């Protein structure tokens, strides 16, 4: 049942995803691309690029679009529901308990201990985007675009929306 799969695909990353929205991305990729095969690496990269160019949380944008792509409006609703509602209900329901433990070292180290794993999954995802880039745009274009994007984002702190826009223009003119 597609709605149940969509629910699980977004419920699991969000219920174990400590460390905010970006930490959830590789976990979502593992479900959407790796486990269920709803998207290829390139389509996932395109979705992520647009998601990074637009404001508001990345997790709900990804859920909304992937859900819609897989199963229409109903799919979008299910995926966004699975992203937002469980952790929000926990927060509303267990506020007193959480309040008492908010400084607890056990709670603090949860996100600390998960970080290396998320870092590795992010590195793996970086690698898969790299090999996808070589397959579709070729090594030269991939390295060129990546170098310019890295300088713009890291050195000049350019807004991601402009960098994505620049890559779209370059791709439209020189690739394809």
For another protein, what does the binding mask look like between residues 2 and 21, x meaning CB under 8 A? Answer: ----------xxxxxxxxxx
Please report how many Cα atoms fall inside a 13 Å half-sphere around the Cα of residue 47, on the Cβ side. 24
User: With CB under 8 A, what is the number of residues at the site for another protein?
Assistant: 107
Nearest residue (CB) to another protein, 2 versus 110 = 110
> Least distance from C-beta 130 to another protein, angstroms?
5
CB of 39 to another protein, least distance (A): 11
Contact 164, 50 (CB under 8 A): yes
φ, ψ of residue 26 to 5 degrees: the values are -65, -30
Task: Assess 141 for contact with another protein (CB under 8 A).
Answer: yes
Q: How far apart are CA 65 and CA 92, in angstroms?
A: 27
Binding mask 35-54 for another protein (x = CB under 8 A): x------x--xxxxxxxx-x
Site for another protein in 79-118 (CB under 8 A): 80, 83-84, 86-88, 90-92, 95, 98-99, 101-107, 109-118
**Is residue 91 within 8 Å of residue 79, measured between CB atoms?**
no
41 with 77: CB under 8 angstroms? no
């Amino acid at each position: 049942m597609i709605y149940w799969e969509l629910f699980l695909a977004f419920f699991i990353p969000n219920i174990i995803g400590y460390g905010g929205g970006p930490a959830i991305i590789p976990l979502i990729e593992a479900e959407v691309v790796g486990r269920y095969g709803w998207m290829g690496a390139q389509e996932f990269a395109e979705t992520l690029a647009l998601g990074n160019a637009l404001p508001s949380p990345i997790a709900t944008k990804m859920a909304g679009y992937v859900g819609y792509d897989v199963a229409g409006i109903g799919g979008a609703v299910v995926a966004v529901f699975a992203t937002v509602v469980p952790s929000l209900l926990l927060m509303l329901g267990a506020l007193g308990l959480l309040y008492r433990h908010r400084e607890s070292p056990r709670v603090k180290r949860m996100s600390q201990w998960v970080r290396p794993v998320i870092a590795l999954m992010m590195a793996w995802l970086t690698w898969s985007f790299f090999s996808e880039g070589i397959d579709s745009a070729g090594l030269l274009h991939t390295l060129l675009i990546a170098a310019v994007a890295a300088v713009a984002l890291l050195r000049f702190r350019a807004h991601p929306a402009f960098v994505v826009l620049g890559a779209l223009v370059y791709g439209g003119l020189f690739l394809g």
